[in-house]
Chains A and B, each alone.
Chain A
Amino acid sequence: EAQVTQNPRYLITVTGKKLTVTCSQNMNHEYMSWYRQDPGLGLRQIYYSMNVEVTDKGDVPEGYKVSRKEKRNFPLILESPSPNQTSLYFCASRPGGGVFYEQYFGPGTRLTVT
């Protein structure tokens, strides 16, 4: 089944403790991205990657890092999480090329930083 998977689905952590949220897709998509969703603010793009070893900042990259060493994986790294990073996070992927219509989203990771 074509899908985007994220782990963990739920995470409660403390301020400053480094964490990684993994994202993996099995559709051989070149493009992957991370969004966060907060009440009243909608979904905002954090980082995106157009292919292996190619990443770029989205609208809200502060406090996050990403890497794209393999096409299928795009982990989101919080080096020193803070309470304002408490949010619902989504990973998404789509085929490469300039024209696209459909993006595939993962199930979400609910992160709480205390």
Chain B
Amino acid sequence: DAGVIQSPRHEVTEMGQEVTLRCKPISGHDYLFWYRQTMMRGLELLIYFNNNVPIDDSGMPEDRFSAKMPNASFSTLKIQPSEPRDSAVYFCASTTAGRTGELFFGEGSRLTVL
């Protein structure tokens, strides 16, 4: 079975540009999570969805960040406008209700904002 698929794997952009990160969860999973990882702060939860509905977005840093899940097989995380401090690895993960504690992560999208 295919795992969680993220794109792009690498993104280099200039400050002020819009960035869109994409995620395809594992088929049949009903939870989807967006995490951000930096050396200083580790893995931080940004937002998570259950059955395509946002449940907790308290980790979204500010209004420049938005996330959508239009259907069970696709989610986006958008940053507009991007800033250098947004540089990080962004991970998408999915799981299902019967697997408490077990998240399946994608390989991440490494974002560099110049």
Q: A and B from one assembly?
A: no
By a beta-carbon cutoff of 8 Å, the part of chain B in contact with chain A is none
